[in-house]
Structure 1
Amino acid sequence: MKTFVYEKADSPEAAVRDIDGEDARFIAGGTNLLDLMKLQVETPAKLIDISRLDLASIETRDDGGLTIGAMVPNSDLAADPRIIDGYEVLSRALLAGASGQLRNKASTGGNLLQRTRCYYFYDTASRCNKRSPGSGCDAIGGVNRILAVLGTSDQCIATHPSDMAVAMRALDATIVTLNRDGDRRRISIHDFYRLPGSTPHIETVLRQGELITHVELPKPPVGKQAYRKVRDRASYAFALVSVAAVVAIEDGKIASASLAFGGLGPMPWKDATVEAALVGQAPAPDVFAAAADALVAEAKGSGSNDFKIALARRTLIATLRDLTGA
């Protein structure tokens, strides 16, 4: 690990004021950043510690939704009665991620900004356009079993690793930020992440020095909720495929559906055509199969991750079957 300057911020405004260059980083729980620094994948010259900021509360808004501070630990968020009762898919996604010790430390804002777990990103001897733009991508044609089959480019096939962010996308979350000018932005999670294209090192729409302060959830959705995660072992493993689903049925037909997917793309994945294949239909195997076909219509394997395409179909169908009782 290289040497760096360490400062503690006493307010969000001070934090964004002190983040004075591209080589500076915010650090909260540090469960991802510190690993990257030890491997010299990330080499910040300055760390601004935001872990003591007053951003660790969960507030109920007048509209029935919730405002979640960026410093709320994953374990606290998963255990909050309002989350368990109204946003079960989020609680289940959080409990499916990492270990209890990591959930106690990992923050809500930091979870949204996790870097990929692609083997080549972590190996500084390998070519990686995300780590070193323009160097190439050894994952293409390499060991890519855990990597993406949707939304990839010829520059990068990395997956986004978060479970929480998948559920947040199914719930239509909004991310609130603060910049150095004191201005706040509200960014829909649907607009927050970027596809790799020719710039895989640019992963979100955050600007230099912009700080996530809160996440807003709309009022609890109507319908049943589920989070299904398929992984190589029962605990502490990233998703091969995951599905966050909220489905409502009225008069024997699917009235609404919100579906997001992990393990398949470079961001928490959502495709309106999947939901459109379900809404207005009576739950049935052929309807579920049509939705699954829509999900993988543009999927492209890279060799050892080809199996994910069939696995994604089966996982979605199983989730819909359990939610609807069909």
Structure 2
Amino acid sequence: MPVSVRVAMRLQAAWSRRGPLACVLWPLSWLYRALATWHGRAYAWGLRPRERLPCPVVVVGNVVAGGAGKTPTVIATVRALRAAGERPGIVSRGYGRSSRGLCEVTSHSPATEVGDEPLLMHLRTGAPVAVGHHRAAAGRFLLARHPELTVIVCDDGLQHPRLARDVEVLVFDERGIGNGWWLPAGPLRDHADRRADLVLYNAPAASTARAGWLARRALGPAIPLAQWWQGAHTGRPLSTLADTRVLAVAGIAHPQRYFDMLRAAGLHLDTLALADHHVYTEAPWRGHPADVVLLTEKDAVKLPPGSALASDPRLHVVALDFEPDPHYHLALQHLLQGVRAAQAAQEEH
């Protein structure tokens, strides 16, 4: 297991309780909290200007470090908005990308240039996606290229108040707020009680006292990598791999969650946990005697057709089937209707 993964796992364990390591880091958390609080209040008090886009903006984020489920929430939200008649677009920072400035994501964009999560969101939704360090600029850039868009969904933007927003969606996973301390002594990167319009739990049950909706999550079939890139949604049911030697590879924030879901499906597997946003310069599964190698979609986007690393016929992709409670989608549509009604009333006056 890479050193970076071991360090990340140790921190995640420390953030679940107020143990020795968390206590040692606790003084530093006050500095982080002070800086983060001042950053937010500078915009709230008007010391720094917010930038508003000409269409409603929905921001999806969390208050803890690490993957709480923002990307699948954005994907599910965009799909539901499109089904409701909206024309949504997505803006993201594009964490880990090598390019600079503003960039529109296409199906042929290398994940290294635009970021693995923006590429995955574009492939899964078909919606226009723009990446940029400043999300307001990315939103203007996207609207200039796609003036037909009626709503912008911002991936991971709660802590970036420069972009004015109309709806905030707060996502939690099983960790809740962990030990309740700020980084680096705990997982918090924002106030645990910060306001939000909608709360969604990427977990079997609510992990905080806040009212919200649950999301159903399950793993799909094992789809050959080449077919996944072609848009296939069918493959080998996981149950058919119960007696097969399987290696599961995951370069995501919480690989153990993925491995546990595979085991719950009846698979007996070896596992290989890689760092979140792992960059594939070689095939870590090379030499392993597995008959099938299972990848997450976040890993698959970094192995495009025609690349040497994607040539191994054992490679299969297991997608996450993520669907929020239908009332979440209805509540979001109701909020957007209210936003537009308020804007129309303001224009009349």
Bigger helix fraction: 2
**For the superposition of Structure 1 and Structure 2, which TM-score range results when normalised by the shorter chain?**
under 0.3
With CA pairs under 8 Å and 6+ residues apart, which has the higher RCO, 1 or 2? 2
Greater Rg by CA? 2
TM-score normalised over the length of structure 2: 0.21
TM-score normalised over the length of structure 1: 0.22
